[in-house]
Amino acid sequence: MDRIGPYRVVRRLGGGAMGEVLEAVDDRLQRPVALKVIAAHLAADPAFRSRFEREARALAALDSPYVVRVHATGEDDGRLWTATALVPDGDLGSWLARHGPLGVDAALEVVEQVAAGLADVHAAGLVHRDVKPGNVLLDRTGGEPRALLGDFGVAGWLAPHQTRTRAGSLGTPAYMAPELHTGGVAGVASDVYALGCVLVAALTGRPPYSGATDYAVARAHVERPVPQLRLPGPRGVAVDRVLRRSLAKRPGARHASAAELRADLLRARALPDSAVGGRGWVAAAVLAALLVGGAGTAYALTRPADPGSPTVAGEPSPTPTPVARDVAVTTLTRALAARMEPPQAACVAEAWVGRAGLQEMAAAGFFDGQWRYVDRPRSAMTPAIRAAATLAALTCADASPSPS
């Protein structure tokens, strides 16, 4: 196989059930390309050929800095082929296998770029259906490293509402959404789920679920809890929140689009990666303080006239009993409910007290002698209490009733 169409084959790069990928050269333009040759049994299927031609036209028209560029497509002696830009630096899967997981910032940047490319793919009316580290190509030729989404060998054409495709459940089990393991249809939601799996792999070096067989992996996707990585600082809290949503078991509970997932990743990147200090910490702390500061005023108008003797800031507080803790969390929840939905207020109150410590907050004057919440200015927050408030706000950002 020396030539396919106008291309001179240099070497084989890889292959699989869908066909093989070759490095080739366009002698007319003196341009290297990656040439994907579709497997003969698929090329002989009239329905596949029809879909291939539609997808090829859409991909050739797609102009995205985060999607591998399709140069041309055609047929040679019954063999269907697609020529794309040759990305020289390998793929994310190979990188992870050689070097291990990426740092948090690098992982968020790579996956955010892939999310941008995936959003462009969906806007073109396509669903990728095989988003995984091996299909994320890395390009360092332009100075700044760039991640590109590639390999549309199992891509499917979306229905007019652009949410799903009727094609079968092709893909890679370790990165397939729960509904695909149980006979469901692929679509935007399953692509979002797969990208959430890629985020886990980028941060840990492995997909979110494993098993001795494909069946065991499928069961894990359907039944096991969403992984929480517990990385440090506000950024780590935001990453876990992104995972809870992108890897939700029900498609309707996930990000509504790849663009929405990208926005979440950008917000996570903007946060500091440590609990105290660090560039950007003041902005994160003010965000949490705005959620909390002043909320107590509303409660102060409704609480009993005799609150008991207040705790003096800076003095030791008596050891709180479980009942005292319940009073503290309940009154703080009521105060926060003036600024946010009740489920979120309850979540923030519980998380803030749990992280900062009830006795420490009382010593700073945030609870009176009967363990009732007392509104205090932001300046009264110690660094530890402020950090706890920020983490609580981030942890509970999506604490709302699940959609039915």
**Alpha carbon distance, N-terminus to C-terminus of the chain:** 55
Alpha-carbon distance of 77 to 36, in angstroms, equals: 15
Give the model confidence (pLDDT) of 167-205 as tens digits: 344 568 999 999 999 888 889 999 999 999 999 999 999
Percent of the chain with pLDDT over 70: 79
Enumerate residues 6+ apart whose C-beta is below 8 A from 192: 118, 246, 254, 255, 257, 258, 261
Among 32, 7, 259, 6, smallest CA distance to 141 is for: 32
Report long-range pairs for 206-214 (Cβ below 8 Å, ≥24 apart). Answer: 207/174, 207/175, 208/247, 209/174, 210/174, 214/173
Whether the per-residue pLDDT at 61 is higher than 60: the answer is yes
The better pLDDT of the pair 188, 304 is held by 188
* DSSP string for 375-393: ---GGG--HHHHHHHHHHH
Q: What is the pLDDT of residue 63?
A: 84
What is the average pLDDT across 266-291? 53
Binding-site positions read: 36
Give the model confidence (pLDDT) of 68-77 as tens digits: 888 888 888 8
Are 12 and 89 in contact by the 8 Å Cβ rule? The answer is no
Q: Which of 27, 63, 89, 130 is catalytic?
A: 130
Q: Check residue 134 and report its DSSP letter.
A: G
Alpha-carbon distance of 79 to 1, in angstroms, equals: 12
**Band of residue 142 on the pLDDT scale cut at 50, 70, 90:** low
What is the average pLDDT across 264-287? 58
Whether the per-residue pLDDT at 150 is higher than 60: the answer is yes
Question: For the chain, what is the mean pLDDT?
Answer: 79
**Band of residue 119 on the pLDDT scale cut at 50, 70, 90:** very high
Q: How far is CA 45 from the centre of its chain?
A: 36
The phi, psi pair for 53, rounded to 5°, reads -65, -40
Q: What is the pLDDT of residue 1?
A: 57
Binding-site positions for ATP read: 36
Q: What is the pLDDT of residue 288?
A: 45
Give the model confidence (pLDDT) of 342-399 as tens digits: 777 888 888 889 888 998 899 888 898 889 988 877 677 788 888 888 778 777 766 5
Give the model confidence (pLDDT) of 23-49 as tens digits: 889 888 889 888 888 888 887 888 888
Are 155 and 170 in contact by the 8 Å Cβ rule? The answer is no
Domain 3-85: assigned CATH number? 3.30.200.20
Give the model confidence (pLDDT) of 307-338 as tens digits: 344 444 444 456 778 888 888 988 888 888 76
Q: What element of type H or E holds 346? A: helix 342-356
Among 178, 183, 182, 152, smallest CA distance to 167 is for: 183
Alpha-carbon distance of 263 to 278, in angstroms, equals: 22
Q: What is the pLDDT of residue 302?
A: 33
Whether the per-residue pLDDT at 221 is higher than 50: the answer is yes
Task: Cite the residue boundaries of each domain of the chain with CATH code 3.30.200.20.
Answer: 3-85
The better pLDDT of the pair 151, 267 is held by 267
Q: How far is CA 268 from CA 105, 238, 295, 297, 397, in A?
A: 9, 5, 26, 31, 12
Annotation marks residue 240 as catalytic: no
The structure tokens listed for 9 are 């084959």
CATH architecture of the domain with residue range 92-269: Orthogonal Bundle (1.10)
Enumerate residues 6+ apart whose C-beta is below 8 A from 222: 178, 181, 182, 249
Task: Cite the residue boundaries of each domain of the chain with CATH code 1.10.510.10.
Answer: 92-269
